[in-house]
Amino acid sequence: MATKATQAAKAMAGKAVKTAQAAKAARAARTSGASGASGVSGVSGVSGPADYDAIIVGGGHNGLVAAAYLARSGARTLVLEGRPKTGGAATTEAPWPDAPDFKVTRLSYVMSLLPPTIINDLQLERHGYKIYPMGPYYQAFPEGGSIKLYADDAKRNHDEVSKWSKKDADAMPRWDAWLAGLADVLGPLLLTVPPNIGSRKPRDLSETLRLAWRHRGLDVRTIADVTRLMTMSIAGLLDDWFESPQVKGALAVNGVIGTWAGPYEPGTAYVMAHHSIGDVGDGHLGNWGFQEGGMGAVADAIARAARHAGAEIRTGARVSQLLLRNGRASGVILENGQQLTAKVVVTSLHPRTAFLDHVGRANLPDDFVTDIEHWKTRSGVVKINLALAELPDFTADPGTNLQEHHTGSVEMAPTMPYIERAFTEAREGRPAVRPFSDGVIPTAFDKTLVPEGYHIMSLFTQWVPSDWNEAPHTEELQAYADRMIDCYNEVAPNFKSSIIHSDIVGPYEMEHEYGLIGGNIFHGELSLEQLFHMRPAPGFADYRTPVPGLYYASSATHAGGGVCGIPGMQAARAAIADRRATLRRK
Ligand SMILES: Cc1cc2nc3c(=O)[nH]c(=O)nc-3n(C[C@H](O)[C@H](O)[C@H](O)COP(=O)(O)OP(=O)(O)OC[C@H]3O[C@@H](n4cnc5c(N)ncnc54)[C@H](O)[C@@H]3O)c2cc1C
């Protein structure tokens, strides 16, 4: 682990080290470059051989991916999950005690970002990973009519968009090609470990140069396009391409998903790109899919892969603190007081929990503490899960029989001003009167979630005020959900009466039950100042942390959020690489 130790020491060298403990840790790392130096600092550690080679804090999908990679490398690996089940925000649950046969993907709901590298390395298909590619985006408009947008069918897109604007229909293939070109640039960056930009140390400089060299083929136009994407609002970008409010509304959805920002805010164009550069393995860029068995089944498949490789997974095992020996991570303390030691610890929790609560401010450099304190983690998301007796019967596309428009996203985002109004109301401290929703009906394909003849509809909705993580707001959430349902009822008049069960998850529950601080779905906003080399803090975007022996695998690192597993894979790779470097040196 010496490379890690050296890295952390390097990172600390330019920073004010807050306490003697941290200074001592940095010195120990610099001089020994080794793990397990004797003596105790920070929270008292236990001497003697470690219980495990690696402990993973948090059994969300990223923690499980990290565990699978570490176990495959031969490390004795333990995952500690605080909840009674693994999966974190990738969870399938039966929220209605009187209807245990109805299962919902309670939080995250669709797949796209998990790269083939991870699917293949962990042989996830063997362990139960099975995706049904989704149908088109569908929006039925309150004033009548509808639009469908396909991820992979230019001819039908042309027909659909022509209903609203011939000019936009002609622009659509160019837009798709433009996005594909940008995905060629941005896609590989998702799997790139961000360099420590600004550092003058030789290794950091060479990493930065290597990245620049990789992109030497980019021309002036492409760099300009990337710049636009990184700096513009999704509204501004779409205004450059399209004229029809209906088309722009449909294309704006991906720009505001999970974001504490309306479509006119700079940076939302990038959020759209983040949600548009994955594919579900079928080669269609931007396509999304439903996991059979819900999103919990993705986490289950990864957990099976981890166990298959030898990892041990404990649930109901909540970690309360990191154990430090000589400033180096040496294990954890559970809430029940049990201490478990390990040569390395990988934490996959929200940065405030992982660093400020578990490591403690006194054991971290001042700059890093400030960065984590300033970490933006709002979103105002409310998830509404519904069990339906029949499919929505849209006035624009009648029938309760399963039709194509039921198989993809069933949106409530008719225009950009509609979405903007929902955000403005929440920013002013009121829940949206007419919320925006990204709805899906996974049971259009997946028959494992409900008894025959029934359906689940999952509504990812925004916004409520960003401080609703501080109190349950139960009655107001119910009223908000009722208004959301009314919006769908306007375009599908059987909708309200078809609902037999409902489940509302607001920011307070997301924070207190699932550890999503502030209710942010990605462990931190995807705002420009929190991307790439800034995620989660400058100088520590390489999945290492200021504490030697502690690695970071949460969605708050580069490529997160989303169910993409990349943070878990990269943190494990960093730990494995550092261990190999230490062994080589020895
Ligand atoms: C409402 C919602 C909708 C979303 N929709 C999508 C979507 O459709 N597609 C998509 O790709 N992404 C979606 N996301 C985002 C995605 O789900 C998350 O980015 C991702 O699941 C986070 O994974 P993770 O492993 O980094 O963290 P988490 O899933 O948060 O896992 C962290 C784990 O740590 C555990 N934990 C917390 N504290 C402790 C402790 N002290 N000790 C031990 N364990 C602890 C938690 O219980 C949890 O299991 C959505 C998220 C939400 C909330």
Summarised one tens digit per residue, pLDDT across range 544-564 is: 999 999 999 999 999 988 999
Pocket flag, ligand 1, residue 318 (CB < 6 Å): yes
Query: Can you list the positions of beta strands (E) in 425-570?
Result: 436-440, 455-462, 499-505, 550-552
pLDDT for res 206: 83
Whether pLDDT at 182 is above 80: yes
Mutate which of 81, 114, 254 to test ligand 1's pocket (most atoms within 8 Å of Cβ)? 81
Average predicted confidence (pLDDT) for the chain: 90
Q: Which of 105, 287, 348, 463 to mutate to test the pocket of ligand 1 (most atoms within 8 A of CB)?
A: 348
SS (H, E, C) 294-333: CHHHHHHHHHHHHHHCCCEEECCCCEEEEEEECCEEEEEE
pLDDT digits (tens, 9 = 90+) for 128-168: 999 999 999 999 999 999 999 998 899 999 999 999 999 99
Q: Please report, rounded to a whole number, the percentage of residues in the chain having pLDDT higher than 70.
A: 90
> Which pLDDT value is given to residue 211?
82
Flag whether pLDDT at 1 surpasses 60: no
Q: Checking DSSP bridges between strand 436-440 and strand 409-412, what pairing results, if any?
A: antiparallel
Nearest to 150 by CA among 40, 51, 288: 288
Rounded distance from Cα 520 to ligand 1 centre (Å):
10
CB 266 within 8 A of CB 172: no
Instruction: Evaluate: CB of 163 within 6 angstroms of ligand 1.
Output: no
Pocket lining: 521 vs ligand 1, CB cutoff 6 Å: yes
DSSP H helices in 323-365? 351
CA-based end-to-end distance of the chain = 11
Averaged pLDDT, 501-517: 98
Quick: pLDDT tens for 54-110.
999 999 999 999 999 999 999 999 999 999 999 999 999 999 999 999 999 999 999
Tell me, in angstroms, the distance from the centre of ligand 1 to residue 443's CA: 23
Residue 341 three-state SS: strand
Tokens of 110: 């669709």
Burial environment of residue 62 by CB neighbours within 10 A (0 to 12, 13 to 18, 19 or more): buried
- What pLDDT, in 10s, does the model give residues 295-333? 999 999 999 999 999 999 999 999 999 999 999 999 999
Nearest CA to ligand 1 atom 14: 108
Ligand 1 lined by 384 (C-beta under 6 Å): no
User: pTM for this structure?
Assistant: 0.91
* pLDDT value for 213: 79
Q: CB–CB of 298/22 below 8 Å?
A: no
| pLDDT per residue as tens digits for the range 368-426 | 999 999 999 998 999 999 999 999 999 999 999 999 999 999 999 999 999 999 999 99
pLDDT of amino acid 35: 34
- With a cut of 50, say whether residue 7 has pLDDT above it: no
Does the beta carbon of 552 sit less than 6 angstroms from any atom of ligand 1? no
The reported pLDDT for the residue numbered 300 is 98
Query: Can you give the pLDDT at residue 47?
Result: 61
Ligand 1 centre to CA of 60 (Å) is 6
Atom of ligand 1 nearest to the CA of 556: 26
pLDDT at 197: 81
Ligand 1 contact, 333 CB (< 6 A):
no
Task: Look at residue 42 in the predicted model and tell me its pLDDT.
Answer: 35
State the distance from the centre of ligand 1 to the C-alpha of 58, rounded, in angstroms: 9
Spatial CB neighbours of 100, under 8 Å, sequence gap ≥ 6: 94
480 membership: H or E segment, kind and range: helix 474-491
Q: Which runs of consecutive H residues, i.e. helices, occur in 354-473? A: 366-373, 416-427
Asked whether the beta carbons of 149 and 498 are under 8 A apart, the reply is no
Class of residue 532 by CB neighbours under 10 A (exposed 0-12, middle 13-18, buried 19+): middle
Residue 293 has pLDDT above 70, yes or no: yes
pLDDT in tens, 202-231: 888 888 888 877 887 888 888 898 888 889
- What is the arithmetic mean of pLDDT over 450-459? 98
pLDDT confidence of residue 46: 52
For ligand 1, is residue 314 a contact (CB within 6 Å)? no
User: Cα–Cα distance between 560 and 526 in angstroms, integer?
Assistant: 9
pLDDT in tens, 266-279: 999 988 988 877 65
Distance between CA atoms of residues 156 and 495, nearest Å: 27
In whole angstroms, give the CA distance from residue 295 to residue 129: 10
Share of the chain above pLDDT 90, in %: 77
Q: How far apart are CA 516 and CA 510, in angstroms?
A: 5
